Chains A and B, each alone.
Chain A
Amino acid sequence: MNPNRSFFVPVDSPLHRLNPLTKLTFVFAMILPAFLSVPELAPILAIPVFLAAFIGRVQKPYLNLLLKLILPTITFMFVMQSVFLPGGETILFMLGPFDVTQEAMRSAFFTVTRIFVMVSSFALLLLTTHPSELMSDLTQRGLPGQFAYVIISTLQILPQMQAKAQTIIAAQRSRGLDTESTFLKRAGSLVPLVSPLVFGSLAEVEERAIAIEARGFTSKKTKTSLHEISDTSFDKGLRWILVILILASVALRIWLS
């Protein structure tokens, strides 16, 4: 369990300095065309994501993430889908009793590239933007503050709760709780592990509600932010270009059909 609870890499780069909403628009400008436009576009879209990783100076963690997180998944999916997807006449080769057709392989390839574009562009956003920065920008643009509270406070609670879970697991094991033998024993040890964790965390809810209520959580007045996030005219222009690209790619699909 990683103590640093997000993918964010704190370096200074043109991509880090961009407004978070612009980067979010970039992510959608990659994902929506990949899924909604002609399938041949998806492999091409991997290129701008890759280039952006270099501009953001996060190429090393980005490639690391690709190797660890995305590649095993999509390789497995590609093999499974090429072998098992039904339909298709042109049999390329036989794999044991299963036939691999050209059509199945083609559709597996496009599915896998789409997923690659989706996951890797989100990963890029998370590598270059801290979640709380994105949330405070969205809050300044009119998202109710409660949403930002939920996301940010979850990211804070989670490591604490995981540490607590580790403590409970260690404590119960030292008392002889069986977490490794037969299925029924392991299933039975779920309750002694889960209940102290859950009841302990739920007990804090009431106090926290009173604490944030006292700080004007439900107040309807506009709140000011300590941390202003810059939004340049370059950001605004870039966002419009990206939106036009999304629309153009969907139009291309309709036009070609």
Chain B
Amino acid sequence: MEVISQNAVYFVVVAAIMILLFAWAYFTKRIQKDFITMTWVLIPVAIAINLTIGQIVLLLKLPVYLDSIGTVLVGVICGPWAGALTGTLSNIIAGIILDPGWFPWFPVAAAIGATAGVMANLGFFKNWWKVVVTGFIIAIVATIVGTPISIAIFGGISASGSSIITAFLLETGRSLVSSVLTTNFISEPLDKIATSLLAFAIIDGLSARYLARFPRGENAAVEKGQKQTQLIIALVVVVLLILFGIFVLPMLTGG
């Protein structure tokens, strides 16, 4: 009982912060500025891209989901609020047509879109190595948002393939929170970095005239003079951070 009421407090605090943030952005007209007609028309296309690419990836039997490319795309060129809305509605649509089990995961999808938008506003979506950093940050946010949902609603072990890792970690004596967190931390970065890189490849292929029609088109202005070494260094650093994280996370969560 003790633990549950404490978690309820966390939940209320997080919800209150979200509502305040929304109210602030709404009353300062930051949200309305991003939601022009082009944004509203792009969102359905982005959701369809999410789900269709998700199915192509299943067909190719790749070990990733890549079901948020459209969400990241909207986050970057239409701002974080539009990205969050795309993620949310994407999960609702997937719930309507594929499996209602998608509904509870909508905060993760919303967080992915919002994070992509914030990172793009900070200028971190302009060349390959910065996109790798963005993908890694998105993965961390998705892990933080996804772990409580995974534990509170699905009991920590769901029907996805990565549950095998969770089960293995539990058998080595780790706590449930630590095991789920570590599992997500291992499986998310590959997916989210690949998602961000593909979204960047798409943006790179769009004309500047087309991008300028969107509210945050300037976020996607690709920098010239890219170096491959930078990309490789970024990828190596991310891999090292993941390995480091696998050892540090159990200490942070107490065993």
Bound form: Cα–Cα A115–B51 in Å: 23
A-B contact pairs, 27 of them (CB 8 A): A6-B97, A35-B153, A77-B154, A81-B156, A84-B170, A85-B156, A85-B176, A86-B175, A108-B155, A112-B155, A115-B101, A118-B104, A119-B100, A122-B100, A122-B103, A150-B47, A151-B92, A153-B44, A165-B56, A169-B59, A187-B60, A190-B56, A198-B69, A202-B45, A205-B42, A217-B40, A257-B1
A107 nearest in chain B by CB position: B155
Bound form: Cα–Cα A112–B158 in Å: 10
User: Smallest Cβ distance from A13 to chain B, in angstroms?
Assistant: 20
Which residues of the partner chain A approach B202 to less than 8 Å between Cβ atoms? 195, 198-199, 202
A contact face: mostly helix, strand, loop, or mixed:
helix
User: Smallest Cβ distance from A172 to chain B, in angstroms?
Assistant: 11
Q: Is A206 in contact with B45, judged by CB distance below 8 angstroms?
A: no
A73 nearest in chain B by CB position: B159
Which residues of the partner chain A approach B173 to less than 8 Å between Cβ atoms? 86
Known contacts A85-B156, A150-B89, A190-B57; A212/B41 CB under 8 A? yes
Q: Is B35 in contact with A146, judged by CB distance below 8 angstroms?
A: yes
B226 within 8 A of A: no
Of B140-148, B205-213, B233-241, B242-250, which binds chain A?
A: B205-213
Known contacts A98-B171, A115-B154, A205-B38; A86/B201 CB under 8 A? no
Give me 13 other A-B pairs in contact (C-beta within 8 A), A111-B155, A162-B52 excluded: A83-B167, A84-B166, A85-B157, A108-B155, A146-B35, A150-B40, A155-B97, A158-B93, A161-B49, A189-B60, A197-B52, A197-B56, A205-B38
User: Smallest Cβ distance from B65 to chain A, in angstroms?
Assistant: 13
A111 nearest in chain B by CB position: B155
Interface on A for B, CB 8 Å cutoff? 1, 5-7, 35, 69, 72-73, 76-77, 80-81, 83-86, 98, 107-108, 111-112, 114-115, 118-119, 122-123, 126, 131, 146-147, 149-151, 153-155, 157-158, 161-162, 165, 169, 179, 183, 186-187, 189-191, 193-195, 197-199, 201-202, 204-206, 208-209, 212-213, 217-218, 257
User: Smallest Cβ distance from B222 to chain A, in angstroms?
Assistant: 16
Known contacts A84-B171, A118-B100; A198/B41 CB under 8 A? no
- A5 contacts which of B66, B97, B156, B171 (Cβ < 8 Å)? B97
Bound form: Cα–Cα A81–B179 in Å: 13
Q: Is A158 in contact with B40, judged by CB distance below 8 angstroms?
A: no
Task: Tell me the count of chain B residues lying within 8 A, CB to CB, of chain A.
Answer: 59
User: Smallest Cβ distance from A87 to chain B, in angstroms?
Assistant: 9
Bound form: Cα–Cα A218–B48 in Å: 23
Q: Is B48 in contact with A158, judged by CB distance below 8 angstroms?
A: yes
Bound form: Cα–Cα A157–B52 in Å: 11
Q: Is B60 in contact with A186, judged by CB distance below 8 angstroms?
A: yes
